[in-house]
């Protein structure tokens, strides 16, 4: 099944909900990816499928729209007739960050929920709106190793300019974001944790090392010996994953040498990813220290004001 590149989309198209359409537009790009460009839906159609006419959207609603348009009985029947495995849509909430990385490595694409103030605070050059500090949805289509270490994710931010159209002073088209930035931005996403005894929402940040996303998988050719059932988890289990501690084994012939090279490269890739994780954890700790120092400064200022006031009263 031929698949073209994802068409980049911008949420600022002048509609009444444009300021809250990041999740809708990210879903539209994910729909473009999963259907190989064969299904094109606008904001109104996607919001209708989500059941949300106005306001921000959640991953559960993004998943619902993708399932309605990409997994319709007609599409699944056509895909089956072509001897392809059907596409997949999977919502993941508060899962380890590594799960998102592995999904990209496996060729999937993701609609990801993030805290945008991290982007403005740490990489303002990658921001689509330097005044925006809230929660945001973006679309991730690929991952790559960087020559100097670490990894980057190809991000389609709905706040960016569309190539060929009049430009705002922000990036145009998809951009490569460092993985450490993705990790930190995902951790600062604000999500609904539950409700209290009075029925009020309890909200909180995703937290370090966690992420919220919706993963989509394109149709794939079915192996001649594959069963009729489609089990994504079983497919993933068939691909062995070695631990970082696995070392190279001696090669006995040319084939073994080639396999050894593949294993060595995989190990290097895993080590680079681990280095990126450690760098992100270090930066997160530094940011937390900065926050604590700021809080301590605020407390000191309050104590000084109280002390000054007490002294003034004692003098009267």
Looking at the structure, tell me whether residues 30 and 69 fall in a common domain: yes
68 conformational bin, left if phi > 0, alpha if psi -120 to 50, beta if neither: alpha
Question: pLDDT at residue 108 above 70?
Answer: yes
Least confident of 16-30, 109-123, 125-139, 266-280: 266-280
Tell me what pLDDT residue 27 has: 98
Of 276, 91, 125, 117, nearest to 189 (Cα)?
117
User: Residues 31, 144: one domain?
Assistant: yes
Q: 132 and 267: one domain?
A: no
Q: Please, are residues 49 and 68 in contact by the beta-carbon 8 Å criterion?
A: yes
Residue 243 lies in a domain: no
Q: Do 61 and 149 share a domain, yes or no?
A: yes
Residue 83 domain flag: yes
Burial state string for 100-139 with b = 16 or more CB within 10 A and e = fewer than 16: bbbbbeeebbbbbbbbbbbbbebbeebbbbeebeebbbbb
Mean pLDDT across the chain, nearest whole number?
Answer: 82
Tell me, yes or no, whether 262 and 204 share the same domain.
no
pTM of the model: 0.72
Instruction: Note whether 42 and 146 are same-domain residues.
Output: yes
Q: Tens digits of per-residue pLDDT, 9-21?
A: 999 999 999 999 9
- Domain membership of residue 142 (yes or no) is yes
- Last residue of one domain, picked from the residues 178, 207, 223: 223
The predicted-structure confidence for 45-96, as pLDDT tens digits, reads as follows 999 999 999 999 999 999 999 999 999 999 899 888 888 889 999 999 999 9
Give strand ranges (E) for 72-163: 84-85, 88-96, 109-115, 135-145, 151-156
Overall domain count for the chain: 2
Question: Same domain for 50 and 196?
Answer: yes
Of the three residues 223, 242, 269, the one that is the final residue of a domain is: 223
DSSP for 82-96?
A: TTEEPPEEEEEEEEE
Does residue 5 sit within a domain?
Answer: no
State the pLDDT at residue 237: 39
- The pLDDT score that the predictor gives to residue 1 is 43
> Do 136 and 217 lie in a common domain?
yes
Q: What is the CATH number of the domain that holds 138?
A: 3.90.70.10
> Is residue 212 situated within a structural domain?
yes
Residues 72 and 158 in one domain: yes
Where is the domain boundary, 169, 203, 223? Answer: 223
Residue 245 has pLDDT above 50, yes or no: no
Name the residue among 190, 219, 208 with its Cα closest to residue 98. Answer: 208
302/210 same-domain check: no
Domain extent at residue 209: 18-223
* In a domain? residue 1: no
Task: Please give the pLDDT value at position 306.
Answer: 63
Query: Is residue 234 situated within a structural domain?
Result: no
Residues 48 and 186 in one domain: yes
The answer to the question of residue 48 being in a domain is yes
Kindly state whether residues 83 and 181 are assigned to the same domain: yes
| pLDDT score recorded for residue 81 | 87
Say whether 143 sits in a helix, a strand or coil: strand
Report pLDDT for 196. Answer: 74
């Amino acid at each position: 099944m031929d698949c073209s590149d994802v068409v980049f989309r911008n949420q600022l198209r002048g509609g009444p909900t444009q300021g809250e359409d990041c999740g809708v537009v990210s879903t539209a790009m994910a729909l473009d990816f999963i259907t190989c460009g064969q299904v094109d839906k606008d904001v109104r159609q996607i919001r209708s499928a989500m059941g949300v006419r106005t306001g921000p959207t959640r991953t559960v609603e993004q998943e619902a729209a993708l399932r309605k348009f990409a997994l319709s009985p007609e599409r699944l029947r056509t895909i089956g007739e072509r001897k392809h495995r059907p596409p997949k849509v999977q919502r993941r909430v508060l899962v380890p960050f590594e799960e998102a990385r592995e999904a990209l490595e496996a060729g999937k694409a993701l609609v990801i929920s993030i805290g945008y103030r991290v982007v403005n605070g740490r990489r303002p050059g990658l921001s689509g709106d330097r005044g925006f500090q809230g929660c945001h949805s973006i679309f991730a289509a690929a991952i790559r190793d960087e020559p100097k270490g670490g990894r980057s994710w190809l991000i389609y931010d709905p706040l960016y300019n569309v190539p060929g159209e009049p430009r705002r002073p922000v990036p145009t088209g998809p951009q490569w974001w460092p993985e450490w930035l993705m990790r930190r931005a995902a951790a600062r996403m604000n999500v609904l944790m539950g409700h209290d005894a009075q029925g009020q929402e309890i909200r909180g940040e995703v937290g370090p090392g966690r992420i919220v996303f919706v993963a989509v998988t394109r149709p794939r050719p079915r192996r001649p010996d594959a069963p009729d059932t489609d089990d994504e988890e079983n497919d993933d289990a068939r691909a062995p994953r070695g631990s970082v501690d696995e070392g190279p084994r001696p090669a006995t012939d040319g084939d073994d040498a080639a396999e050894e090279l593949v294993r060595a490269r995989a190990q290097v890739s895993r080590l680079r990813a681990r280095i990126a994780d450690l760098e992100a954890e270090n930066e997160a700790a530094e940011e937390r220290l900065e926050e604590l120092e700021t809080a301590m400064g605020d407390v000191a200022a309050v104590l000084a004001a109280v002390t000054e006031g007490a002294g003034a009263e004692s003098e009267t």
